[in-house]
Amino acid sequence: MSSSELMQKAREAAVGAYAPYSNFRVGAALLMADGSVITGVNIENRSYGLSNCAERTAIFTALTMGNRNVSAIAVAGPDAWEPLPPCGACRQVISEFCSPQTPIYYDDGRGGHINSSVEELYPVNSLMDMANR
């Protein structure tokens, strides 16, 4: 599956986001090693700290389904006006379940997307791995 196709799956998922407070919808799509796609959306709560991002929703769903082999991640926000990389909490969770080389695609805020990787967005994880060898 191409990065554009995976981004389209994330954009489609974003439509189902629960974002009544911010009106900022986000969808994530995980391409799994077996070729399946698992999606997630941001889910807000009036207590913002109890909200959950689309990336973590998708990862937690994959884990619940017994699937831990993520091949690529796409994050889309139809309401974004600037690049939309995963937040710090999502980067931490992503680094737990993905290799440093796992591609991450995210909205560029202009209708396209940016190609990145876990290692580019969370370089400290690779440094920690080297230190523990």
> Which residues are annotated as catalytic?
55
Answer for the pair 54, 79: CB distance below 8 angstroms, yes or no.
Answer: no
Identity of the residue numbered 16: G
Closest CA to 39 of 91, 75, 3: 75
